[in-house]
Chains A and B, each alone.
Chain A
């Protein structure tokens, strides 16, 4: 993160307060870190059993932007966290996500540094490595990114597609958006109404066409249940609404190139 330009001002590990790692001070609690360093964002790598507590601590610490990388947090914990978030001024990205990257400015999370290229395309995704794949392909084809956001692959997440699409719509550095969805739930469909009102073009890529029903495909949220949440259903809903869909990362690059040239 430091290499990418992020100003990392402190770390928190209970019991390790007072130490320094790569010249960055470590604190025992978020409160101490906030009092001393006044950060506006926090990234959470805490193991699943303790992650919700860490998010609560960050919210109570008044941190504006909280990015939770941790995979495997119990969904009941996340429901409680999200309910608590509603009465706070914090935004939570994740959990089970690779974080958020703005090339040339900063990165909060674990996306590999070399794949990014600064530009005018926003990217929002439920996935991790698939996000890297697409960013990498965009960059190789000279299509830079304004900001890339992984919202996470769990059933309950702090930030939705619509939340990020709203931000991209307002962002003066973003001209088009790539949205990467997958099977399970209706997060993709729920964004359709908003996308139709957007001035900026959106290309959607939805994976899991080959996924059988009733099986969790890696991500806790990626499950086709009771016949709903299939990739084909989602793709059909998007196409019916007149939203451009890509069949593969390569297809996205092609279609995006066409849009950007217009």
Chain B
């Protein structure tokens, strides 16, 4: 789960990582008071997608009127399809140097990795492409956490003259990463500011929390009422796509294989829906309702290889809601209680097939995308 910048900065503050003084507002009018208090400000759209700067979601302003105007404009925007509902207004801090500091998981090494660079301010992917030698990487042992000497070494490598405040932020960011079950904790840029301001400040903040750890983290996800959220609530996984063939499959690998095959036969999947191992009647009902509520859907494929999941339970779930489903259904049942499941569906006019390949081929015939 991605946190908003303002949420991450609240957490940073708790850990005494310096962040610019600022306020979160939802009404443009409120920008005036904040700007009056803070002087020159930066107004930043609060969205959880990248590239908001390029999209015009960040603006500098001096004076209350200017701030209000900028806030008005940004609050009316949509960035990558997400309407901006909140903006963060922060005191402007002039960076002298900009550091990239990020902690993520190195899947291959199976441990956390800190990545840092003096070329902060741009995408780390961009730095990695243009000048990979400018990124310092350091693995951290997950059972001990970061050692002081590691933070010292990393800070000295970055900027010897300012290593003390930098190493302090590195250690604190690692604690955030660890305590909040992050898959990413990132400051870009971490700014060293002018002498008279004396200091170091996290101008941006990004945190992504491991979805698997949400049960023990307080950070509650905002309910967006999306199909993704509805599926998640029932212990399933839904990803919306652009096509017209609704897909319901048990298991992520089989689901991806099914989607690939539909494409191979010239169809376009409308979603990825993994009902997970051991799906019961209730989940199948919910899955069918979620998938068919997408009005682009012209046909639905249900592909089940029963292991823990029982085909007769799946069939019962389908039968329960079949009268609500307005599009043709292609069902593939294999594995545990396959025969019982098939028998239950026979009289309902669904297309019943025995392999994924066949199911993909059949369902494509119903779609608009079939040529």
Contacts and interface: CB of A to CB of B under 8 A. Distances in A.
Contacts of B183: 75, 155
B10 interface: no
Contacts of A76: 142, 178, 181, 210, 213
A98 B305 CA distance: 13
Given A128-B277, A132-B335, A186-B107, A216 B253 contact: no
A129 B252 CA distance: 8
Contacts of A71: 276-277
B252 A222 contact: yes
B305 A133 contact: yes
A207 B105 contact: no
A126 B181 CA distance: 23
B340 interface: no
Interface in A209-233: 209-212, 215-222, 226-227, 231
B259 A156 contact: no
B40 interface: no
B305 to A, nearest CB: 4
Interface SS of chain B: helix, strand, loop or mixed?
Answer: mixed
Given A98-B307, A156-B107, A208 B256 contact: yes
Contact of A185 (B107, B125, B259): B107
Interface in A39-98: 48-49, 71-76, 78-80, 82-84, 98
A223 B304 CA distance: 22
A180 interface: yes
A156 B253 contact: no
A226 B141 CA distance: 25
B233 interface: no
B174 interface: no
Contact of B255 (A80, A155, A180, A218): A218
Interface residues of A, number: 61
A107 B264 CA distance: 34
A131 B241 CA distance: 25
Interface in B16-42: none
A217 B272 contact: yes
A119 interface: no
Contacts of B216: 49, 74
Interface in B333-352: 334-336
A183 B256 contact: yes
A80 B142 contact: yes
A236 to B, nearest CB: 15
A190 B110 contact: no
A80 B336 contact: no
B254 A186 contact: no
Contacts of A126: 253
B212 interface: yes
Contacts of B107: 155-156, 185-187, 221
A72 B212 contact: yes
Contact of B334 (A74, A136, A186): A136
Given A125-B253, A133-B254, A133-B257, A155 B335 contact: no
A171 to B, nearest CB: 24
Interface of B: 105, 107-108, 110-112, 125, 141-143, 178, 181, 183, 210-213, 215-216, 237, 239, 241, 249-257, 259-264, 269, 272, 274, 276-277, 305-308, 334-336, 355-357
Interface of A: 48-49, 71-76, 78-80, 82-84, 98, 110-112, 115, 125-133, 136-137, 153, 155-156, 180, 182-183, 185-187, 190, 207-212, 215-222, 226-227, 231, 247-250
Given A128-B254, A211-B272, 7 more contacts: A72-B212, A112-B336, A186-B108, A207-B253, A210-B259, A218-B255, A231-B260
3 closest Cβ contacts across the A-B interface? A127-B253, A218-B252, A129-B251
12 contacts: A48-B212, A76-B210, A83-B142, A84-B143, A127-B251, A128-B277, A130-B253, A137-B355, A187-B108, A211-B259, A216-B211, A218-B253
